[in-house]
Structure 1
Amino acid sequence: MPSTLPDGDPVPPSGDLPESALHGLGERPFGFYVHVPFCVTRCGYCDFNTYTASELGPGASREDYARTAIREVRRARANLGEADLPVRTVFFGGGTPTLLPAADLVAILKVIGEEFGLAPGAEVTTEANPESVGPAYLEELRDGGFTRMSFGMQSAREHVLRVLERAHTPGRPAQAVAEARAAGFEHVNLDLIYSTPGESDDDWRASLAAAIEAGPDHVSAYSLIVEDGTRLAARIRRGELPMPDDDVAADRYLIADGMLAEAGFEWYEVSNWATSEAARCRHNLLYWTGGDWWGVGPGAHSHVGGTRWWNVKHPAAYAQRLTSGASPAHAREVLTSQDRAVERLMLELRLSAGFPLRELDRPRVVARALADGLLEVEPFKTGRAVLTLRGRLLADALVRDLT
């Protein structure tokens, strides 16, 4: 099961935000994340806040979920006051959002638009398992205002999918991309995972080739992380599977970057590649560049003006709070200026746009990183330090040194 929620300061039943959070509201980009916590089965590597039908228990259901989420959208409007907050991005994640009827996702989006207004050209994304959608479903989403699809492909090799306990067949993601294109989606992402136990370099190359051939304009590739409490972690602990190797993961990353670059994809964040600037995920960029967002759903996290909070975890507790007229927030924290500076460095340095060199206050660390070929000063982005390919492999360690 997922890990417990972090501790924090109490949130008033009304959910009112501190004055510091409301200062400058509307001057920063604003988006919504909508968490849909349902899955048909739990993948062996997953520790997200998700629930199968047998785990859900009384007090919550898929059938009522859209109505409950809409209550939180309306509460968000009340808590944020009358500030003009056109929504630039909306991202439905999970779980498997597309286990809900398309009409439910469209209804939630419609209320977000009614309460806040969608900015011109707003990006609206939903994640989907490839087997959870079909042409009619995708057409309904597109007609309802969705602009971007993100499919969980993970691998093109059947034995790798078995280790990950993924339900789809290897060829299904490519079919889903084609169906999304036919429905009118200009922007389509495929998510891949590398370094799964039992995966070879050739398996990884085959997955990349299949993803590229499917024709998305965005690919995300993440190294498998073995999370405590998952079935995968238990299998590794029992010796049934080997622990993923960091050196192997680095080699797989280099393979990915080379193949994707050759196919016309350009990295813009350490784990993300797109065929054009328009194809980049603007919702994630909002996170990475210090925007504000409201997270709807059980366990969802939000951030507004330096205040971060997270909702109660279980769907039944979440529904009960909102039905009774209370905020679903479990706890919150007000970030210090130092906290925000560190988080900004952690996130922005991972972007291809880099970080202002003059704001890196560890000159010896910077000099060593430049000498070691981890950073370069991008000549076309005046005075910005940018990770090299080698620097991307060591980004986490470099950020630790810089903070």
Structure 2
Amino acid sequence: MSDTTHHPAVGELLPATVPVRFVAENGTAVDPPAGADGSGYRVPADEELLEAYRRMVVGRRFDRQATALTKQGRLAVYPSSHGQEACQIAGVLALREDDWLFPTYRDSVALVSRGLDPAEVLTLLQGGWHCGYDPAATHVAPQCTPLATQTIHAVGMAEALRRKGEDSVVMAFVGDGGTSEGDFHEALNYAAVLHAPVVFFVQNNKYAISVPLAKQTAAPALAYKGIGYGMRSEQVDGNDLVAVLAVLNEAVRHAREGGGPFLVEGHTYRIESHTNADDATRYRESSEVEQWETADPLPRLETYLRGRGLLAPEDIASAQKTAEEFAAIVRDKLNADAESDPLELFDHVFGDPTPQLREQRALLESELGGTQ
């Protein structure tokens, strides 16, 4: 019996041979765009780019504030997004409110950009026992620490939405380290076979903690990993907001209109250490970091918008003022001591607590003086 299923030609799946780029590191337009000749990627509207700029300014300031709060002991840990803001902001802007986002632990900037309460976003990183926000209300899954497990969850959600007849799309963020996990490959295969409306967005920041990309893969780019599963793929300069937003807009459109899953690799860089508990100087040279700082996505976009006459000094000042006000809100919320009940340790462990848990709970209650 012949297989009548449509299998796309390799040419329909291949990413560009070089990352798609619209804006160079110095903020000038690349003409013609790198890797995008004839691809059909639409340059985002001016208002989209201005909104992206405003959100990037706020996101960068939020990231700095969260890092400071970690040093002050208000957060248990914080994985900085410094340098990856173009990926995170573009990922959010490409989605509708009814679309779903499946983030990793490094995507707090994306979550606050989507409108989530910053205190709720940081609950997990404070050491709370829950993710802090309501996934059903926000259409944002809990931030995922185990690498790539959320990619399979994302496919399941996308398939559920498709079966319900909804045209919502799911976007799963994952790091380059996550692409080395079996869950990632299972998710890609599962998504392609089901033709699920999911976009996999790999933020390739070159290191899985201290493991460099060269020790993770021999592929010419991570974007090529989609081909073996029959999935359309693309690679993009992850520090060029214009290009990232253009590619993700197309990826989301492709998935929403029934084209199936889409894999996008954004080439970016983690400027700070993996977390506040990491010392990045042990595995990378300062010259490497300095080189990537010249490709910083925020001044790059700002220069581009100013060069086109879309961004005036007063607009920059307004964005910075908004960012400072947002940082003050974050400080106020995180500096407030939360009320805690030590007996919560025993809640939500089992539906029917075991005898040992009941005994331990009673012992703790006794030690607390029976006041709880």
Alignment TM-score, normalising by the size of structure 1: 0.32
Alignment TM-score, normalising by the size of structure 2: 0.34
Report the structure, 1 or 2, having the larger strand content.
Answer: 1
More relative contact order in 1 or in 2 (CA 8 Å, sep 6+)?
Answer: 2
Report the structure, 1 or 2, having the larger helix content.
Answer: 2
